[in-house]
Amino acid sequence: MINRILVAYDGSDPAKKAYEFALDLAQKYQAEIWVLTVSRPPEFAEDVETEAILEHSTKYHHRLLAQLKQQSAGTKLPIHYEGAVGHPAEQIIRHAEQHGANLIVMGHRGKSLFERWRLGSISQRVLQYAHCPVLVVR
């Protein structure tokens, strides 16, 4: 039974599709939704740069969540919105476990084969390590 869905959201078109898909599932199963955005700190930077980048990223993610709240205002489903800082795959898995999610829904980024190999795929990492089923929306 699906009663808690975690949606990984970054504002991309695949993430928007994933959010819409999750809303549809939640309505069918009367499930609770947790929407998570993740600000990723830079790999190598000075403390001052990191702080400024994270502050800018946090503001950006708050705007994304505000748009979703406005879009979902008429929905009678319980929807929670959260932001986190860290590696996206780790944060998605951690929040899914923390909130007892039965399903993780996320978008597929559509990167080239080389980009996936060089950077790694967040959805691939979540699929590999999540405690619950993961649905990747294309």
Q: What is the dihedral of CA 111, 117, 118, 124, to 10 degrees?
A: 70
- Coil, strand or helix at 34: strand
pLDDT tens digits, one per residue of 111-136: 555 555 544 588 889 999 999 999 99
Domains of the chain and CATH, by start: 4-137 (3.40.50.620)
Q: Which CA distances in Å does 68 have to 36, 118, 119?
A: 11, 31, 28
pTM for the structure as a whole? 0.84
pLDDT tens digits, one per residue of 22-64: 999 999 999 999 999 998 877 665 555 777 777 777 888 788 8
Buried b (16+ CB within 10 A) or exposed e, 19-41: bebbbebbeebebbbbbbbbbbe
Q: Are 57 and 2 in contact (CB under 8 A)?
A: no
